Amino acid sequence: MTVSHTPTETENQVASRLAGQPIDFNSMAVVSNLFRAANAVRNHLERTVLAQHNLSWTAFVVLWVAWVWQESETRCVAEESGISKATLTGVLKTLEKLGFTTRRRSEKDGRLVIVGLTAEGNALMQRLIPEFNKHESELAAVIPTGQRDEMADHLRAVTTFALASDQ
């Protein structure tokens, strides 16, 4: 059993530790809950859906991006997966070893590498996407129907702002 503090206990303790200081608790709650949620959902999906296929979260995201476009340059895959080029190199090494992705040099530009999906990769995604989506539905179900689009919009806006701040 858990001995940890409840979220409410923690927030009260934070408020008391920061009493008197000009802190924007409202924004703090939004950001910290953003990470709590992302973390909890990620761990949940990794354990329930991904683990049985020997896939890490990032590996699945990369696989997802590759599936969406079928053929894509590594720089695009890295950016759309939200990871660095260096990380992608390692993840692709793993996915290639598992037999899900392929890599080949571009004929037009010798610097570029094109990422593709194998037949096994496509078959895996065909099974994985509906299963994954079922869990997404369960998770989003805790948000009132009419507010899900709004939620997605706000998250998109936050993403855009954060990315723009990095130039």
Partner DNA sequence: GAGAGATTGTTTGGATACGAACAAAAAGTA
Partner DNA sequence: TACTTTTTGTTCGTATCCAAACAATCTCTC
Q: Which residues bind DNA (CB under 7 A)?
A: 1, 3, 43, 47, 56-59, 73-75, 78, 82-92, 94-95, 103, 109-113
On the CB side of 126, CA atoms within 13 Å amount to: 8
Site string for its own copies, 104-143 (x = CB under 8 A): -------------------------xx--x--xxxxxxxx
| Contact criterion met (CB below 8 Å) for 93 and 86 | no
Written as six digits, the tokens of 74 are 């590594």
Q: Which is nearer to its own copies, 120 or 138 (CB)?
A: 138
Q: Which is nearer to DNA, 1 or 119 (CB)?
A: 1
List binders of its own copies among 35-54 (CB under 8 A).
35-44, 47-48
CB of 41 to DNA, least distance (A): 12
Q: What is the rounded distance in angstroms from the CA atom of residue 37 to the CA atom of residue 65?
A: 22
| Contact criterion met (CB below 8 Å) for 59 and 95 | yes
Residue 86, classed as helix, strand or coil, is helix
Q: Which residues partner with 114 through β-bridges? A: 73, 104
Residue 29 interacting partner from its own copies, DNA, none (CB closer than 5 to 8 Å by kind): its own copies
Q: Which is nearer to DNA, 28 or 76 (CB)?
A: 76
Residue 59 interacting partner from its own copies, DNA, none (CB closer than 5 to 8 Å by kind): DNA
Residue 120 interacting partner from its own copies, DNA, none (CB closer than 5 to 8 Å by kind): none
CB of 66 to its own copies, least distance (A): 12
For helices 57-69 and 119-140, angle between their N-to-C axes, nearest 10 degrees: 110
Written as six digits, the tokens of 156 are 């998109």
Which of 7, 68, 51, 55 has the alpha carbon at shortest distance from 33?
Answer: 7
Q: Which is nearer to its own copies, 89 or 133 (CB)?
A: 133
Number of residues that bind its own copies (CB under 8 A): 73
